[in-house]
Amino acid sequence: MIRVEEIAAMIDHSLLHPTLNDAQLEAGCALAKKYEVASVCIKPYAVKLAAEWLQGSGVLVGTVVGFPHGNSAVEIKIAETENACMEGAREIDMVVNIGKVLSEDWDYIEGEIGEVLNTCHAHHAVLKVIFENDYLSEDRPKVRLCDICSRLKVDFVKTSTGYGFVKDQNGKYGYAGATDHDLKLMRKHCHPDVQVKAAGGVRTLDDALRVRKLGVTRIGASATADILDEAARRFGEEG
C-alpha cells in the first residue's frame, strides 16, 4: 500500500502565482512544513525568506529561473541561479528558451542548459529543466530536449510552468499542462537517472497517483493540502 509520506515526498508546493503576497508565501511555507513535502517552489525574491521560514525542517527551498517564458539571456539565467543558490535555494526550475527550441538552435539550448546546470551543481543544487510542452505542438523537439538533458545529466525534466497559456482561435487562453502523452514520452526518452516532474493540472490525489504510475517522481502542486488530506483519508481507511 502507498503511504501518505510517499506522496508528500513527491510534492513541490508551488508558491509562484503573481498575486501571492508575503503573508500568503509565509503561510504556504508553513503548510509545506506541516505536510513535510519535498520542497516549496517560491518566487525568486522570497528565497531568503523561505530559507528562514523553513529552517530546521526537511523541506527544501526551490525557485524559478527565466520564468515563465524562458526569454532571459543566458548570462541573466546564470546570475539568477547564482543569486538564488546564495540565498538558500537547493532546487532550480529553469525554463528553456522556447523560441530557440522552436528555431531548432540546439547548440544554444545545450549551452544554456549546461551553463545553468554547472552553476547549480557548483552550489550543490539540483536543476529541473522546464520544456513548456504546450508551446511544442510536435513530439520531435520534446524528444530532442530529452536527449540533450540526458547527455548533460540534468537532475529533472519538467513538463510545464503552469503559466504557458496558448491562445485559441476564439481568443481565449488555456493550457493542457502535464499530459499523460508527454509524461510517457519524457520518461521513455530520458536517461533513467533523469527524473521527471509533472506540473500543470495535477490537482487531486488521483492525478498524483496516475502520473506516479507513469514514472513521475515529483509534481508541482498548489492543491497540496487537498491531495494529502485525501491521501490520509483513503490510505488510512485502507489500512
Catalytic, out of 43, 77, 158, 207: 158
How many angstroms separate the Cα of 48 from the Cα of each of 42, 101, 124, 198? Answer: 10, 32, 17, 26
d(CA 236, CA 95): 38
Cell of 93: 526550475
Is residue 158 part of the annotated active site? The answer reads yes
Tell me the sheet residues that pair with 197.
158, 218
Is residue 93 part of the annotated active site? The answer reads yes
Catalytic, out of 43, 142, 197, 207: 197
- How many residues appear in the chain? 239
Backbone angles phi, psi at 196, to 5 degrees: -115, 130
Catalytic, out of 12, 93, 155, 182: 93
Chain mean position to CA 131: 10
Neighbours of 31 (CB within 10 A): 17
Residues with a known catalytic role: 93, 158, 197
